[in-house]
Chain A
Amino acid sequence: MSDKMKSINLKKVLIDTVMAGLIALIVFGPIVGVVLQGYDFTPRFDRVGWIVGTVMAGRFVLSLFLQTASGHKLMERFDRAGGGVGVKPPGHASIMRWVLPVLILMALVLPFYANKYLLTVVILGLIYVLLGLGLNIVVGLAGLLDLGFVGFYAIGAYGLTLGYEHLGLGFWSMLPLAALLAAFAGMLLGFPVLRMHGDYLAIVTLGFGEIIRLVLTNWVSFTNGPNGMTAPSPTFFGLEFARRAKDGGVPYHEFFGITYNSNMKFIFIYTVLLLIVLAVLYIKHRLTRMPVGRAWEALREDEIACRSMGLNHVLVKLSAFMIGASTAGIAGVFFATYQGFVNPTSFTFFESALILAIVVLGGMGSTVGVVIAAFVLTIAPELLRSFADYRVLMFGILMVLMMIWRPRGLIRINRIGIAPRKGVAP
């Protein structure tokens, strides 16, 4: 073992490099090197050269590195299944006790200083936090891969617009209704499917998300098809956030006798959304410590063991699935009212993949990670506009790398242990 570590087998490194270069040439050569122009093409062999060169150099360095001592150490770390959660000693005071109030305070004063642009970006970030938290319960805690999460999001968003259009319901009545509606859809879909092997759920939910989108696109008489529909703004105890109220409503600035501020609608949405996100965070925090939350995680780790202990696996999974769906429904209502407009292009599979990327990068089951990842993945594209074309590519590569490197996410989940009572043998 020791002499294996010291000597570097240069021949193997070279063979690896040449093989990687050859495969890269075959794989990237045609697609990157020959750009179709109608029935004709333009050669771009310079790009192939760059890619193949990069792949070969990367493979060379990797191959060399893996034969050194630190490389061996790295490989051993991969072999170890870095599983489970970290357990802190009882009575451990988390740093979050100080960070959390500061963050909440910062979030509360933000609307007084932010301009409209920043506010809209943060609202979008919060919507994705909500979606990420919902999917995190389904994927991270219960271990069910849901690829049609965007379907429940669409149910929430279209619930608001359709409820407004056809039933005259406003933001506040649709908020709970959309959650119920999405949860109900989740139950209809989940109940039969959750009895079966887990992988099928992924494909069924994928189909479900597409069905929702296709119906929204094609049922023109009901949903106005690809042209989309307008969504109502929220009201504050019946007061509207427009400069002039529509048919008989009262705008807030006339009621309070203050000057009109066009940001007020977004400040209001932001405040309500923030409160809901905090509530969902708290509920999720409590749920993971309740029997049902423990059951989710247990079922994720070993389904057969749980079933033989007498857990009803369908009901436990269904509860996670429905809670996740209702969170997405709420997020959908906020999305619709924030945009003032919805159309089916907001609910493509890519959106589901983006939410999944948030959960995967944040760490399955980790709340803090999901919040950070949601903000990073929604705000980073705003900052890096020139890389917009490569955004999806980056997400994809990150998802693969994360699965190989740290399938449980960047942030390790820690839990505080319970002290045994005095006089009880350990």
Chain B
Amino acid sequence: MDTFIQQLVNGLTLGSVYGLIAIGYTMVYGIIGMINFAHGEVYMISAYLAAISIAVLSFWGVDSFPLIILGTLIFTIVVTGVYGLAIERVAYKPLRNSTRLAPLISAIGISLVLQNYVQISQGARQQGIPTLLEGTLRISVGDGFVMITHTKLFILAAAIIGMLALTFMIKSTRLGRMCRATQQDRKMSQILGINTDRIISYVFVIGASMGALAGVLITLNYGTFDFYAGFIIGIKAFTAAVLGGIGSLPGAMLGGLILGVSEAQFSGMVNADYKDVFSFSLLVLILIFRPQGLLGRPQVTKV
């Protein structure tokens, strides 16, 4: 029982982070119908940026946790947002009217470029950050214990705040309305005076920023990462997006939580070596049996 609850907590933490990354996939897919393969790499970049920011801040003598985390979050989210903007501008925008395969292949190219660029400039070795938030909550369950580190609580809280802020932005602001309009019908939105090219750029920036939030949080939890870290997390977050129904924001969050919890339970109860196999098999099975996901609508092709 205590293992189950322990893995539930681990799964929820991990899942909320998957959900944050999945938002990037789902929003981009919703607006231009393209799988942004480079999104996992954007997450990886944000992990490096977080570590760099923490190193520089502690070099400057900042040592209170709230200040470090606030500075790191702002820095990482802003710079990663610019990454999203630059990637869209360089690799996807020129291909808006190209063949269907072209943006996918271009995305794979960008993904290779980002991996190798980080490897060259930062070295291939594993990097890490010091533990910033000490302390653990111990709750007795039955005859065992469940350990919840304060970092995990912080991650859950930050992820929930991030998701609420995004939901508010999409639902209630002018920019959010324009995003939704562009997603529904790009040509009509253009006619109504929305600069859809700019909205698409904003969507990339928002997706990258959410990925950056996830990158900071997951780095706080695990402490280590390398230039290859984006690949596996990228596929898993995509699985989460598909699970929840690609194109749907609440779906991405729900899919992330479900994937995180089921993966944690699998590695706790069955076999931790095969947890990645489990997630990928889940992806294949969902695509085969319920490609529209939990909250998505079935796709109808129009001529």
Chain A residues near B (Cβ < 8 Å): 23, 26-27, 30-32, 34-36, 38-41, 47, 78, 81, 139, 143, 145, 147, 189, 192-193, 196-200, 202-204, 206-208, 210-211, 214-215, 218, 304, 349-350, 353, 356, 360, 364, 389-390, 392-393, 395-400, 403-404, 407
Contacts and interface: CB of A to CB of B under 8 A. Distances in A.
Interface stretch (B85-93, B144-152, B163-171): B85-93
Contacts of A81: 97-98
Contact of A407 (B37, B99, B127): B99
B123 A35 contact: yes
Contacts of B288: 192-193
Interface stretch (B179-187, B254-262, B271-279): B271-279
Contacts of A218: 273-274, 277
Contacts of B281: 207, 211
Contact of B105 (A35, A206, A399): A399
B122 interface: yes
Given A200-B287, A393-B120, A400 B101 contact: no
**In the A-B complex, the 9 residue pairs with the closest CB atoms:** A399-B109, A396-B112, A396-B113, A207-B280, A392-B116, A192-B288, A400-B109, A403-B106, A393-B116
Interface string B274-298: 1011001101100110010000000
A40 B56 CA distance: 8
A170 B277 CA distance: 30
B287 A396 contact: no
B108 A23 contact: no
B194 interface: no
B277 A36 contact: no
A40 B95 contact: no
B276 A214 contact: yes
Given A214-B277, A393-B112, A404 B49 contact: no
A23 B104 CA distance: 24
B117 A393 contact: yes
B116 A403 contact: no
Contact of B108 (A36, A204, A353, A364): A353
A36 B79 contact: no
A353 B284 contact: no
A395 B291 CA distance: 32
Contact of A356 (B94, B105, B284, B299): B105
Contacts of A193: 284, 287-288
Contacts of B177: none
Of B56, B110, B284, the most chain A CB neighbours within 10 A belong to B284
A39 B238 CA distance: 31
Contacts of B104: 145, 199, 202
Interface string B59-89: 1000000000000000100110011011000
A400 B110 contact: yes
Given A35-B123, A218-B277, A396-B112, 11 more contacts: A23-B82, A27-B83, A31-B48, A31-B122, A39-B129, A199-B33, A203-B242, A204-B284, A208-B280, A211-B280, A364-B101
Contacts of B82: 23, 26-27
B235 A206 contact: yes
Nearest to A399: B109
Contacts of A31: 45, 48-49, 52, 117-118, 121-122
12 contacts: A26-B78, A30-B53, A31-B117, A38-B128, A145-B101, A199-B35, A207-B239, A207-B284, A392-B112, A392-B115, A403-B98, A403-B102
Contacts of B49: 30-31
Nearest to A140: B101
A202 B101 CA distance: 10
A393 to B, nearest CB: 4
Interface of B: 33-35, 37, 45, 48-49, 51-53, 55-56, 58-59, 75, 78-79, 82-83, 85-86, 90-91, 94-95, 97-106, 108-123, 127-130, 231-232, 235, 238-239, 242, 273-274, 276-277, 280-281, 283-284, 287-288, 291, 299, 301, 303
Contacts of B48: 30-31, 36
Contacts of A200: 242, 287, 291
Contacts of B291: 196-197, 200
Nearest to B279: A207
A36 B127 contact: yes
Contacts of A30: 48-49, 52-53, 75, 79
Given A31-B122, A199-B104, A304-B303, A403 B52 contact: no
Given A26-B79, A214-B276, A399-B112, A36 B235 contact: no
A137 to B, nearest CB: 14
Given A36-B48, A203-B283, A397-B113, A143 B100 contact: yes
Contacts of A395: 109, 112
A143 B301 CA distance: 18
Given A207-B283, A218-B274, A396-B116, A41 B235 contact: no
B108 A35 contact: no
B109 A403 contact: yes
Contact of A399 (B83, B85, B98, B106): B106
A38 B52 CA distance: 11
B111 A396 contact: yes
Contacts of A35: 121-123
Contacts of A199: 33-35, 100, 104
Contacts of A47: 121
A364 B232 CA distance: 28
Contacts of B99: 407
Contact of B85 (A23, A39, A202, A353): A23
Given A147-B108, A192-B288, A139 B101 contact: yes
A276 to B, nearest CB: 28
